[in-house]
A and B are shown apart, each in its own frame.
Chain A
């Protein structure tokens, strides 16, 4: 059975596109057939994060307008043959697509893919409505900052108000354990407590993310905390029970002793 998942946040710049790229790649590594759809029309970026920017011929708007078949617009990933990208249009705007058209498209793609993952634009306007229209569930990305959490709360309200009530799971991104330890950053538990939805993953602020984005190769599954955190999210999406990572990493005995963020 296939699943349509929207990656959303409300606020911009919290890591939706990075999360989409890594979760999509991770699911492909778990031998799922995956298509990623960039729904941020006018501000195309998922192609860049995946390193596929030079291969775009057709885009999402071409598919919706019937200028090409979905198969013609989908780009096969460089590394995983079961991962595809349906890129967004760069020279159009959000009104080029309607929620009904998006739902029809995702429903058609269900026939062929295990996971259809939508990278949602920031904001709560039409781009957001388009992205959530066909989704079964949402991954809500936030950072431990007041503005990102307030916006995330608004998104939870909008997802609940949607006619097809959508389950949302929380990803707390860009955690800096050094600041958490000093009490100068909200903890994962704080964020979860405020938003009151299930946590599906916590990703540390890791410079490897910047490096992998520079190179256009998602780091999911690689031997660092962020890579492991993303892979764990993917395994939870496919239904495995995975214990939460100790984000304190290999920083020494004292930080290991605290074990504050180890959950079972």
Chain B
């Protein structure tokens, strides 16, 4: 680690806050890693019918997002699905 990285390093207090914020969203959504894995597999199976996707590059997670209709943030399921080829 060089000097630059030491200065850039996040304070552990902020690290804790960020980790907790993410964790609590999925805790509150009552979504276990097993259920997330099932959701992921089901999504893959549905999309596979229409296009070829990169299953290893697929990433889903529950995060917070700003609501359009209500005030404040709401939990959201974010899926990042790299497409290899669209089938015709």
| Chain A residues in the interface with B (C-beta under 8 A) | 144-146, 149-150, 153-154, 157, 179-180, 182-187, 190, 193-194
Q: Are A153 and B13 in contact (CB under 8 A)?
A: no
**B12 within 8 A of partner (CB):** yes
Number of interface residues of B (CB under 8 A): 13
Distance from B16 Cβ to chain A, minimum over Cβ atoms (Å): 5
B20-28, B35-43, B47-55, B75-83: which one contacts chain A?
B20-28
**B45 within 8 A of partner (CB):** no
Q: Are B20 and A183 in contact (CB under 8 A)?
A: no
For A182, the closest partner residue in chain B by CB is B11
Distance from A105 Cβ to chain B, minimum over Cβ atoms (Å): 33
**B69 within 8 A of partner (CB):** no
Q: Are B24 and A186 in contact (CB under 8 A)?
A: no
Q: Which of B11, B12, B14, B28 meets A153, CB within 8 Å? A: B28
Q: Which of A184, A190, A194 meets B24, CB within 8 Å? A: A194
**B19 within 8 A of partner (CB):** yes
Distance from A81 Cβ to chain B, minimum over Cβ atoms (Å): 44
Residues of B within 8 A of A180 (CB): 13
Q: Are A184 and B27 in contact (CB under 8 A)?
A: no
Residues of A within 8 A of B28 (CB): 153, 157
Distance from B36 Cβ to chain A, minimum over Cβ atoms (Å): 18
8 cross-chain pairs, A with B, having the tightest CB-CB distances, nearest first:
A183-B11, A190-B17, A184-B12, A186-B13, A183-B13, A153-B24, A146-B16, A185-B13
